[in-house]
Amino acid sequence: MTEGVRSGGFLFTGSAMTVHKMDRGRIGHSLILYLYLSKLVTIPGASGAFLRLVIDQFLFSPIFIAVFLATLVTLERGPSQAIPKLKQEWFSSVVANWQLWIPFQFLNFRFVPQQFQVLAANVIALVWNVILSFKAHKVEN
């Protein structure tokens, strides 16, 4: 019993730390991504915001969601569970991501000054992390 508790505690702590690092990495990556996107896409106004949104949501986000789900499931349940979890939850997670982030990111890229875009995204990221955590821990039917 004690060994199971230690082992389970270690796995929980390890997965929590990894997910935290991934989240911090996403924030750091978001800062770099936002700075890069503002230099890459110099079109002003709604057109520029839309183009930055497309790059962010259709290139970066699907990859991040797959890595997040696979890493979390691998750490908590083992590598053999990662592919089934991705098959079960990846697409619905990407769709949920788009439902939350596309409206927010358009407004963020369009109206929020660049130096505050990551801060604004961090507020929404708190909500998103709760949603993604529920999806990662959803029991398979």
State the pLDDT at residue 3: 41
Could you tell me if residue 55 is inside a domain?
yes
Provide the CA 4 distance to its chain's centre, in angstroms: 31
Confidence of residue 140 (pLDDT cuts 50, 70, 90): low
Domain boundaries, position 63: 2-136
Query: What mean pLDDT is predicted for residues 3-30?
Result: 48
Q: Identify whether 84 is part of a domain.
A: yes
Beta carbons of 102 and 78 less than 8 angstroms apart: no
Whether 141 maps to a domain, the answer reads no
Flag whether pLDDT at 32 surpasses 80: no
Number of structural domains found in the chain: 1
CB 137 within 8 A of CB 16: no
Domain contains 41? yes
pLDDT averaged over every residue in the chain = 78
Instruction: Establish if 31 belongs to a structural domain.
Output: yes
